[in-house]
Amino acid sequence: MTSDLLAPLDLAFWNIESARHPMHLGALGVFACHSPTAGAHAADLLAVRAAAVPGLRMRIRDVRLPDVRLPRDLAAGRLPLALGGATREQAPDFDPLDHVRLHAPTDDFHAEAGRLMERPLERGRPPWEAHVLPGASGTSFAVLFKFHHALADGLRALTLAAGIMDPMDMPEPRSPRPQEPARGLLPDMRKIPGFLRGTLEDMGRALDIGASVALSALGMRSSSAFVSEPSGTRRTAGVVIDLDDVHRVRKSAGGTVNDVLIAIVAGALRRWLDERGDGSTGVAPRALIPVSRRRPRSAHPQGNRLSGYLIRLPVGDPDPLERLRSVRTAMDRNKDAGPNRGAGAVALLADHVPALGHRLGGPLVSQAARLWFDILVTSVPLPSLGLKLGGNPLAAVYPFAPLARGQSLAVAISTYRGRVHFGLVADGRAVPDLERLARAVPDEVETLLAACRA
């Protein structure tokens, strides 16, 4: 059985998880159908197909001491990284029926998804699940996919999920570079000077990134509207807007599609705060915008390679076009500085921390998230081709991001077949009115369009 050490950021996600802060991604796909038994048939298909996808058989195993089953890592001089780390390996007793579950019919997919998202995945077996939710009307069913962040990032989760959908044309992944054969359990002595030099360079980069993160966090205070004591409960909501409307705003007011989407989130938050009586005057929550550092069709698609940008959402500004200009300016500033600078680069520190440090420091890091940002706003890629399951077309898909400790709200955004899907996840006790925030999203789009026409 082959084993590979988890990448540093994967290991970080594995170690910061707790019962109230599960670190799994989610996606709620809603399928149109013409039979009340379509959901049950879909569950059977998922179970059968999952058995044939090698990536879904992978479990994560903690490594307390270096393991003789990791000769490639040890021969490459990674002996210190194995201590206290974890490996990704094939589960010998994988049973897809343990991961695909058919539920009773429901008329509220998001209510069920919220309850399922708050349950951590079982760590002793491959950390993913697919929950099939038949619709009470018989005209639709939903599938909630859950993948642990240590098993897959958004792009990798998409690839795994696509493997159990109906066959479709997908780009072939680039073949990985041939691995140098292992020469023994100890590193090659001739490589030690280079190994030490690389270690010192890593330490220098870590200090530089750490200083940048610390300076960016100075003077920042968390907004109480977006930070809460954890309850362990979850609510989800979703809303869909037309991509054409986003492009109309972009062409009229400038910026990128992503700038417009972030500005829409800021405007929706303003409406939501005012409607619930919290008031938006002077509110400027810090939003973490993840940035992928992994090249497309990478040879190592399962590893998380993330940095991020940190911006203040201009929630307190009453002018929708000024909010967009503020977002555009902040994002341009982040891009000019690059993903290695600022508080959003904190994820890069994971690459420079030994495995034992992740294991010992994981709980502390999880509690520090509220010091850096208040809300996560992330984009999850989806294919432009139509997806189907059992011949039933995917009509809508809502991505869900995990909540860091102390955060009460996360927003994930995906574009699928000309429409933009917003998936909202919140602490159920802190944000009982999440549906109100979802309704504010299309209202903000109309406000932006009207401002562009004026």
Contact 454, 277 (CB under 8 A): no
- pLDDT the model gives residue 407: 84
- pLDDT the model gives residue 168: 63
Strands 392-400 and 419-427, bridge-based pairing: unpaired
Average pLDDT over residues 222-242: 81
Average pLDDT over residues 170-182: 45
Query: Which neighbouring-strand residues pair with 143?
Result: 29, 132
- pLDDT the model gives residue 260: 97
**Higher pLDDT among residues 187 and 441, named by residue:** 441
List the structure tokens of 192: 């030690």
Please report where in the chains the tokens 């994820």 appear, as a residue.
347
How big is the CA angle at 416 (ends 35 and 233), to the nearest 5 degrees?
75
Contact 370, 404 (CB under 8 A): yes
List the structure tokens of 204: 């220098």
- Rounded Cα distance between 150 and 380, Å, is 16
pLDDT band at 377 (very low <50, low <70, confident <90, very high): very high
Average pLDDT over residues 281-305: 65
Length of the chain, in residues: 454
pLDDT band at 344 (very low <50, low <70, confident <90, very high): very low
pLDDT band at 161 (very low <50, low <70, confident <90, very high): confident
pLDDT higher than threshold 90 for residue 2: no
Average pLDDT over residues 193-206: 43
- pLDDT the model gives residue 370: 63
- Rounded Cα distance between 335 and 308, Å, is 10
The DSSP result for 122-160, as a single string, is PTTS-SEEEEEEEBTTSSEEEEEEEEETTT--HHHHHHH
- pLDDT the model gives residue 440: 97
Q: 48-51: long-range contacts at Cβ-Cβ below 8 A with a sequence spacing of 24 or more? A: 48/96, 49/163, 49/164, 50/96, 50/99, 50/100, 50/130, 50/164, 51/94, 51/96
**Higher pLDDT among residues 239 and 177, named by residue:** 239
- pLDDT the model gives residue 80: 43
Chain segment 73-119, per-residue pLDDT in tens: 444 444 444 555 778 888 988 999 999 999 999 999 999 999 999 99
Chain segment 79-89, per-residue pLDDT in tens: 444 555 778 88
- Rounded Cα distance between 247 and 251, Å, is 6
Contact 105, 132 (CB under 8 A): no
Among 359, 339, 338, 336, which Cα is nearest to 348's?
A: 339
Contact 283, 292 (CB under 8 A): no
Using a cut of 0.85, tell me whether the model's pTM lies above it: no
Q: Please give the single-letter amino acid code of residue 43.
A: A
Q: Please give the single-letter amino acid code of residue 434.
A: L
Report how far apart, in Å, the C-alpha atoms of 164 and of each of 37, 38, 129, 186 are. 19, 16, 12, 40
**Higher pLDDT among residues 279 and 275, named by residue:** 275
Contact 55, 160 (CB under 8 A): yes
Contacts of 159 (CB under 8 A, 6+ apart): 55, 152, 170, 301
| φ, ψ (nearest 5 deg) of residue 257 | -60, -40
- Rounded Cα distance between 218 and 358, Å, is 24
List the structure tokens of 210: 């750490």
**Higher pLDDT among residues 356 and 228, named by residue:** 228
pLDDT higher than threshold 90 for residue 385: no
- pLDDT the model gives residue 6: 77
Chain segment 11-66, per-residue pLDDT in tens: 777 878 888 889 899 999 999 999 999 999 999 999 999 999 999 999 998 776 55
Q: Please give the single-letter amino acid code of residue 64.
A: R
- pLDDT the model gives residue 341: 52
pLDDT higher than threshold 60 for residue 191: no
Among 167, 164, 169, 168, which Cα is nearest to 44's?
A: 164
pLDDT higher than threshold 60 for residue 355: no
Report how far apart, in Å, the C-alpha atoms of 130 and of each of 117, 161, 399 are. 11, 9, 14
